Structure 1
Amino acid sequence: MTDPIALTGRQPRAVRSALAVLEEVVAAGPGVTAKEISAALKLPQATTYRLLNLLVGEEYLVRLPDLRGFALGRRAARLALPVVPPPPAAARAVVEHLRGMVRWGVHLASFRGATLTLVDADPDHPPSESAVLARYPHASALGRLLLADQADWRALARDLRPLTAQTVTGSAELGARLAEVTASGLARQCGELNAEKGCLAVPVRDPVTGALVAGLALCGPASRVAEPNEELVRLLREHADRLVPLLA
C-alpha cells in the first residue's frame, strides 16, 4: 500500500521554503509584500505567490485589508508557547501568605492563551511539570478550571489518557465533572494525576470581563482532598479574591 503522506524528493524543499516565508513575515513585520519576501529569500515570484496562497489558505498568514501585504494568521500563534510574565511581588506575597497558613502545597497558574502554565509553584511541595499539566488538563484540578471555561473543552483535552487508576477518561463523566466546576467555582481531583495526591483549585477572574486569568490550587494527600475541607476551601477562595486586583 502506498504511504499517503510519503514525501517526494521535492517536498522537503517546499516545506523548508514555506517555513522560510513564515520566518520572513515574522522578521519583516506585518505588511511585508510578496515582492519583498521573494527578494529577501531569493525565491522566484511564482513560487513565492504559491507558498503565500497556501499559507493564507491554511490560516498561518492573512492578507491585510489593502491586499498589498501579509501578516501572521491565527494558526501561526500555535507554533510558539505564550510568554507568561511572572506574577507581581504583591501576588506572590498573597500566595506565600496562604502557604504559611496550610500544610499543603500552594500553586498559582496562569491561563494566558488558554494554556495552563505554573507561574508560582510551591518549592516545598513540587508539583507536576507545567508541560504535563498542560498536556493532560483532564487529570488536574487546575486543568479542569481551564476546561470548564471553554465553549468546547474537547478542543483542549484531546488525549484523555489514564495517568492513574483513578483518572476520569470518559467524556460523559468528565463533562459532568466540568459542569460541577462551573456550578460551584471549585475544581477537585483525588489521585487522578498522582495516585497519592489530590488538589483543590479555584479560579481568578477579571472583575470586568469575567475572563479566566489564573487559578489557585491547594495540593495534598488524595484521601484528605476527598473530604469536604470547608475551612481550606474558604481560605483558598479568600486568597483568590485577593489576587483578583493583582492579576486581572
Structure 2
Amino acid sequence: MTGPGGPPISGRQPRAVRTALAVLEEVVAAGPGVTAKEISAALRLPPATTYRVLNLLVGDEYLVRLPDLRGFALGRRAARLSPVAVPRPSTAARAVVEHLRGMVRWGVHLAVFDGGRLHLADPDPDHPPSDPDLLARLPQASALGRLLLAEQADWRALVRDLRPVTGATLTDPDELAELLPAVARDGLAAQTGGLRPDRGCLAAAVRSPADRRLVAGLALSGPAGRITDPDPDLVALLRDHADRLGPLLG
C-alpha cells in the first residue's frame, strides 16, 4: 500500500484497495488468530491473492502475525482507524465484583458482551485469566463464551475456529449444539480444562432487568476438579452477585 507520496492511482488499484479493506473487515469479524485459509474461504479469494494482500497489510502494520495462534490480528495502524475501548464498569458494578472476590478464594472475572464479542471488563488482578484474544477467538472453549453463544440465533456465526487448546477443549460442533440449550435455560455455563488443563470456570449470566437481554457474564475460575461438581452454595453466591450486576450494567 503506497503512502501519500507514492505513484498515481491506476485503473486497477481501486479493486486492490477494496480487496485489502475486505480482508481487514474479515479479520475484525473473525477475531484475532484468523488464518489465511479461513480468510480466503470466507471472501472467496484465490489463496495467492489472499497471501499477497496479507503480506502487504503486515508489511504496512495494518495486520500482525500471531505465531501462537497461527493467524493474524489487527496491527498498530489498523487499531488507529477505529479504536475499540472496553467499557469500564461503573464504580457500583466494580464494588459488586470486589465484594464477591472478598468472599471466595477463586478468581472472579467480569466480561461484557457487545456486538457478539466478549470483552473482559474487570479481570481479577490476583488470578489472571486466559489471554483475552484467545477468549474472544474461541468462545466455545470458555464458560463466559458459552453464555454468549447460547443467546445467538445461530451460534455458528460466532464460532470460526474449533481447534483444541488442551486435550479437554470442546471441538465437536454437535456436542456444543447439545450443550448450549441448557446454558440458555439455566443462565449458567461451565468448562473444565478447556483453556488450562488444571483450571476450570463457572459463569453466570448478567441480564438487563428491563428486557432480560444478556449484557455480561460473571465468572469464577478455579481448580478444574471443583468445577465438575461445584458447591451449590458457591453457585448461589455467583448467581446472587450476577443478579446484583444486572441493574448496574443493563
Does the pair score TM above 0.5? yes
How far off is 1:130 after superposition? 1.6
Distance in 2 separating the partners of 1:18 and 1:158? 21
Q: Give the unaligned 5+ runs of structure 2.
A: 1-9, 22-80
Structure 1 residues 112 and 194 mapped into 2: Cα distance closer, same or farther (>3 Å)? same
- Cα displacement string for residues 187-211 of structure 1 (whole angstroms, at most 9, x for unaligned residues): 0000011111100001111112221
How far off is 1:13 after superposition? 4.7
Structure possessing the higher radius of gyration over alpha carbons? 1
Paired letter, 2:15: A
How far off is 1:11 after superposition? 4.1
| Aligned alpha-carbon RMSD (Å) | 2.1
Aligned to 1:200: 202
How far off is 1:16 after superposition? 3.2
How far off is 1:119 after superposition? 0.3
Aligned to 2:124: 122
Map of 1:49-64 to 2, 5 A cutoff? none
Aligned to 2:49: none
Distance in 1 separating the partners of 2:120 and 2:111? 4
Classify the secondary structure of the residue corresponding to 2:245: helix
TM-score (norm 2): 0.68
Structure 1 residues 196 and 230 mapped into 2: Cα distance closer, same or farther (>3 Å)? same
Identity of aligned residues (%): 59
How far off is 1:102 after superposition? 0.3
Q: Give the unaligned 5+ runs of structure 1.
A: 1-8, 21-78
- Cα displacement string for residues 168-226 of structure 1 (whole angstroms, at most 9, x for unaligned residues): 11111111111121122110000011111100001111112221110000000101111
TM-score (norm 1): 0.69
Task: Report how many aligned residue pairs link the two structures.
Answer: 182
- Cα displacement string for residues 74-99 of structure 1 (whole angstroms, at most 9, x for unaligned residues): xxxxx957543200011001000000
Aligned to 2:176: 174
Distance in 1 separating the partners of 2:158 and 2:244? 29
Aligned to 1:94: 96
Paired letter, 1:210: R
Aligned to 1:14: 15
How far off is 1:115 after superposition? 0.5
Distance in 1 separating the partners of 2:141 and 2:87? 25
